[in-house]
Structure 1
Amino acid sequence: MNEHNPIAQLVNLIQKQWMEKTANKPSLRFVRFIIRPEEARVYEGFCKLESSEHGSLPEVFVTQLTNFEDEDTFSAALIKDWLDTYEKSTALLQQVNERSFFLWDPRPFQQLLERNNGAPMDDALLSLLGSFRQSLPQQQKQLVLALIPRQVSSTKDMKNWISTLLKKGIPAGVKLLVIDHVNEEHFAFHDRQFPDMICSIHVPMDLNAAIQKLATSGNPNDPEIMLRKCVFEMGAALKDKDVKRMHRWGQQALDATQRSGNKGLFATAHIMYAGMLFHFKKDPKIPELLERGQRIAKQGVQMGDGACLPLLVQFYGYHGAYAQIRRRFTEAINWFIQQAELAEQHKFSQQALNAWYQAAELCRRKDSGRYYDILEKGYKAGLHLTDEEISASIYIYLLRDYYDYAHAQRNHDIVQAIDEKMGRVFGRDWKSDVDTVRKNREPMILPLEMEQSENASAS
């Protein structure tokens, strides 16, 4: 890991806190990281780093992303994923064996899993963890199971599951690790319940400063670095609701990227500037930026600039969003349809599905005569997705709505196909689960804002 990387330095902070809080505590069985939501990627990175051959802590970390569906099936799901991961980790195991002898037999647990008739397998999971820990080389006789479920159906039920394992007795030398959020305390236990067995770790960190430092490091005259600096300054102006400062930095972003001669970078500056101005809604500069930026992106596509095609897809979405803000709903629907068709044509699956969903939702509320036609196109656009891709995308809402339509039309084949597909992903009660997720989900953010956030976190 690059020690000069500001994000790597944050990971180092977590490692140091781990050492301080967990060392010389032989009774410790459960560790809870308490984080702010925006810090999740840093902590996930820490867990994945420590689960690799590059980890620096004395414990052996195993990170599982297993979905939590309910407390009766979670242990069995963890065992299954553990065995699958173990089977695929031959290269890593070979490296371990080169340094010290390691031999663990997964067959007894595979047999237990095959014989299981749906009963909870908490005891089997504890036995697996103890067995694996005993097989570790002498210098690494500590094991950490880090749980970062992709989805959690009920934090209350997951807390009950953790409590059950603590009461049954997590083997010596084994710790469970979970991530909890500041002010929510989903997995908090009172010390009196489990004396000396639990520990909470909170690492104060200035993530925004680290991301800004990382993004703007390098040659200050480089147009990409200049653009990043302008974007951060626009973000600060937005936070202060200072539209004049926003325009000043936005214009600097346009000037710096235009001088570069890079169409993709110049178009990016337009869409970022426009995206920031969306928070001021009626600013007359927005349509000018969108129209000019779209022209530049089209020119870049014609010149073979690979960065311009996804930008062009995003411009259609921003035009749709702007028309929606201006209450020009038919125009907005048409923009979203164009975005969906262009994204689908170039195999940008998630962008296509987002656009179909935006168009369908607007039709449902403002142009019901087109609703089912658009909904069907959105349904067909995601038929190729894997179960994992479905679970992580907005396609679950298109499937949920198209299920009701197919049911009303007595199209039993489609109803059965959707029921089987969603049953695999979410379980028997998938309809109510998806309804709950949709009811509680955050408002949809613009595609570029989402990508900026993901890229900054991953940097």
Structure 2
Amino acid sequence: MNEHNPIALELNKIQQAWLKEVAPQSQLRMVRMVIKPEEARVYEGFCKLESSAHGQLEEVFVTHLTSFEDEDTFSAAIMKDWLEAYDNSAALMQELQNKNAALTWDPQAYRQALAAQNGQPLDDVLLRMLDSFRQSLPQENKQLVLALLPRLVSDLRGMKRWLTTLLKKGIPDGVKLLVFDHAGNEQLAIHERQFPGQLHAMHVPLALYDAIQKLAKSGNPNDPEIAMRKCLFEMGKALQDKDVKRLHEWGQKALDYTQRSGNKGLFATTHIMYAGMLFYFKKDPQLPQLLDRGMRIAKQGQQQGDAACPPLLIQFYGYQGAYAQLRKRFDDAIEWFIKQAKLAQEHHFNQQAMNGWYQAAELCRRKNTGRYYMVLEEAYLAGQDMQDEEISTSVYIYLLRDYYDYVHSKKIQDTIQRIDEKMGRLFGDNWKEEVDLIRKTRAPLMMPPQTMEEA
């Protein structure tokens, strides 16, 4: 780890807190880290670092991003992901063997249990699997930490019940579960009285803003990218103070620095970040100018083979749609979102493509109902080749849910069957109710500020 990197120093704070509060307590079975939402990426980095060969802690960390759908299926989902990861670790297993530290774990019993599941919870089997894996570790008395960072949690109360069930059944010696809760909205706290000595909650104060600012300003001040970062921080402070004049001063400096660099991708990036801040001052005349000019630069960069420019162009199309929506030019906005979706598809950015289709469909539903089902159908067809994991973590599930209602009303049986099979596989027989619940509870799609309420 680079000790001079400000983010690395924040990671080190988490490691030191773990060494002080968790490592000495072998009786712990569940550690709950209370974090701020903006710190999530740092903690994800901590888990991934400790799950790698570069980890600093004595425990063996295994990190899973398995989505939580319900308490009856989560253990099986973790096992499935675990076994897939194990199968894909042949090179690591060989490396351990070469070092005379071979892992002698036999996963066959857990494969069989997963194959014979028949919808039954596998909580006991998961606990046995964790215990057997820990015991197979080459070092004596090695501790195992299962860090859970679900991509999606559709039911926080259900996840808390699942954790309670595992604690009641008895998490094996030497095994800890690590989960994350949000400060000010703690949902996974379990009463200590139920499990004395087994639970530990911790909060590590991080100076994340200072770390990012130091990182942004570090390096050669004559480097256009370093200069741009400094400008962006000053622009951010001006935005916080609602000082549009100062925002423009630093924005122009950022444009000047990056234009001199000759780097089209960097120059276009500055335009889109500057424009994004001006969405807070939606009537500012420079906003559309920045979007138009930045889009032209991104197109030029794309034509010259700059790999950074196609993703930027996709973003520009989305921002153009958002701006048209703010100006109540709804048909123009729909066209921009569709252009965004199609360009993203062309470059195989499936998540961004679905975001564009979803924005277009929702705007049609509210402002141009005559196009609604045509756009829904295009979106449905566009996502047919997506993998299950991509589908379950994208807004495509909402598009499928809405299109299903349409084809059901039209009695298009083959499409009804295909959607039922796909979504039933991902969310179970009650998939429609599950998706409706996720739509209510999942954070809204991120767009430039003040866009949606102006629609």
Structure 1, residues 393-444: CA drift from partner, whole Å, max 9, x if none?
A: 2211211111111111111111111111112222222212222222334343
107-116 or 53-62, which deviates more = 107-116
What is the TM-score of this pair, normalised by structure 1? 0.92
The answer to which of 23-32 and 343-352 deviates more is 343-352
- SS of residue in 1 equivalent to 2:54: coil
Displacement of 1:140 in angstroms is 4.8
Change (3 A) 1:276 1:179: same
Partner of 2:188: 187
- Is 1:40 the counterpart of 2:40? The answer is yes
- The one-letter amino acid of 1:174's match is V
Equivalent position of 1:71 in the other structure: 71
SS of equivalent to 1:393: coil
Unpaired runs of at least 5, structure 1:
449-459
Q: Match for residue 383 of structure 1?
A: 384
Equivalent position SS for 1:192: helix
Within-5 A mapping of 1:11-50? 11-50=11-50
Matched residue, 1:284: 285
* Alignment-derived partner of residue 88 in structure 2: 88
State percent identity of aligned pairs: 65
- Partner in structure 1 of residue 151 of structure 2: 150
Pairing 1:323-338 to 2, within 5 Å after superposition: 323-338=324-339
Q: How far apart are the structure 1 equivalents of 2:207 and 2:57?
A: 23
Deviation at 1:220, TM superposition (A): 0.9
Report the AA paired with residue 249 of structure 1.
Answer: W
Please say which of residues 111-120 and 126-135 is displaced more in the overlay: 111-120
Structure 1: how far apart are the matches of 2:42 and 2:160?
23
Change (3 A) 1:105 1:312: closer
More deviation, 81-90/420-429: 81-90
Cα distance in 2 for residues equivalent to 1:220 and 1:263: 20
Change in 2 beyond 3 A, CA 1:58/1:299: closer
The structural deviation recorded for 1:2 is: 1.9
> Are the aligned partners of 2:379 and 2:399 in contact in 1 as well (CA < 8 Å)?
yes
Change (3 A) 1:189 1:348: closer
Partner of 2:309: 308
Per-residue deviation, 1:188: 0.9
CA separation of 1:403 and 1:270: change in aligned 2, threshold 3 A? same
Superposed CA deviations along residues 164-197 of structure 1, whole A, max 9, x for unmatched, are 2212221111111111111222111222221111
Match for residue 394 of structure 1? 395
CA distance in 2, matches of 1:20, 1:78: 29
Change in Cα spacing, 1:376 to 1:248, as seen in structure 2 (3 Å) is: same
Query: 2 CA distance for matches of 1:194 and 1:11?
Result: 29
Change (3 A) 1:437 1:19: same
1:78–1:335 distance in 2 versus 1, CA, 3 Å = closer
Match of 1:168 in 2: 169
Q: CA deviation at 1:369?
A: 1.2
Tell me the alpha carbon deviations over residues 214-267 of structure 1, each in whole angstroms, 9 at most, x when there is no partner: 233211111111112111211111111111111111111111112222222222
User: Which structure 1 residue ranges, 4+ long, deviate > 6 Å from structure 2?
Assistant: none
Which residue is equivalent to 1:352? Answer: 353
Q: Aligned letter for 1:297?
A: A
Is the 2:265–2:308 Cα contact (8 Å) retained in structure 1? yes
In structure 1, distance between residues paired with 2:296 and 2:112: 62
The match for 2:226 is 225
The alpha carbon displacement at 1:292 in A equals 2.0
Distance in 1, matches of 2:227 and 2:42, equals 25
- Three-state SS of the structure 2 residue aligned to 1:2 is coil
Taking structure 2 as the reference length, the TM-score comes to: 0.93
Offset of residue 103 of structure 1: 1.7
The aligned runs of 1:56-135 (5 Å cut-off) are 56-97=56-97, 98-135=99-136
Partners of 2:132 and 2:21 in 1: how far apart?
Answer: 26
Matched residue of 1:215: which SS? helix
**Residues 84 and 266 of structure 1, relative CA distance in 2, 3 Å threshold:** closer
Partner of 2:214: 213
The 8 Å contact of residues 53 and 92 in structure 1, kept in 2 or not, is answered as no
**Aligned-partner Cα distance in 2 for 1:88–1:315:** 37
Whole-angstrom CA distance in 1 between matches of 2:159 and 2:130: 18
Q: Tell me if structure 1 keeps the 8 A contact 2:351–2:390.
A: no
The one-letter amino acid paired with 2:122 is: M
Letter in 2 for 1:22: V
Say if 1:298 and 1:65 are closer, same or farther in 2 by CA, change over 3 A: closer
Is the Cα contact below 8 Å between 2:64 and 2:148 reproduced in 1? yes
**What secondary structure is seen at the aligned counterpart in 2 of 1:199?**
strand
- CA RMSD in angstroms, aligned pairs only: 2.0
Partner SS, residue 124 of structure 1: helix
| Partner SS for 1:131 | helix
Residues 334/90 of structure 1: CA separation in 2 closer, same or farther (3 Å cut): closer
Q: Which moved more, 1:194-203 or 1:326-335?
A: 326-335
Deviations 1:302-327 (A, max 9, x none): 33333333323322222221111111
Matched with 1:455 is none
Asked if 1 retains the 8 angstrom alpha-carbon contact of 2:154 and 2:437, the reply is: no
